[in-house]
Amino acid sequence: MDLHIRRATKPDISILAAILDCSWLASCPNFLPGECVRRWVEDGRARRQAEAIQPRSLLVENGAGDPLGFISVRGGLLEMLWVVPQAWGRGIGSALLGQAEDLIRGRGHRRGQLMTYRDNTRALAFYQAKGWRPIKEFVEIAPGGVLLPVLRLEKDLYGAEAAAPRAGSSPSTSLSAASKQSATVPPSACAPRVR
């Protein structure tokens, strides 16, 4: 299966919001109180975030045009990386993270940063396996007044754990490994909500 990455456009805001909602609903109940998850959906938070990040987002789709995930990068910060649950474990998140690192490096930043919930053990293990290290912990107040520990992670993009910068790197070259691994990604459960 071919994977394509492209800049998100204004018509893609509903796709970004649907990816946020379905990924959030699949991952967060493992570490967030149900009230937080419920309020996330009810207050339209995904739509507002999608509107805010759309100008700096890259969307990945399979060859049929089904959305599989996205990244949003601002300066040296990876703001968001989300993959639809049906595509988890197929290399798409790794490819998107590699693309984000390339973007950050290409903007002249030696170090990249990102944030994740401390109790989101799946995401934390993923980032740490890719060379990202926690540098600071703080608390976020979630919907319903719940206090959530957040970790700021950092990676030296030119350090020993970093991949060498890829000359002429483009989204299609960054996704080639995921394309080979992801030959059987089923249609996204989000697809009906975004088509």
DSSP state of 103: H
Q: What is the pLDDT of residues 59-97, one digit of tens each?
A: 999 999 999 999 999 999 999 999 999 999 999 999 999
Concatenating the DSSP letter of every residue in 36-74 gives: HHHHHHHTTHHHHHHHHHGGGEEEEEETT--EEEEEEEE
Quick one: pLDDT band at residue 1, thresholds 50, 70, 90? low
The model's pTM: 0.82
* Distance in angstroms (rounded) separating the CA atoms of residues 103 and 22: 26
Bridge partner residues of 114 (DSSP): 78, 153
Kindly list the domain boundaries of the chain, sorted by start residue.
3-163
- CATH 3.40.50.2300 corresponds to the domain 3-163: no
CB atoms within 10 A of CB 180: 11
CB 33 within 8 A of CB 128: no
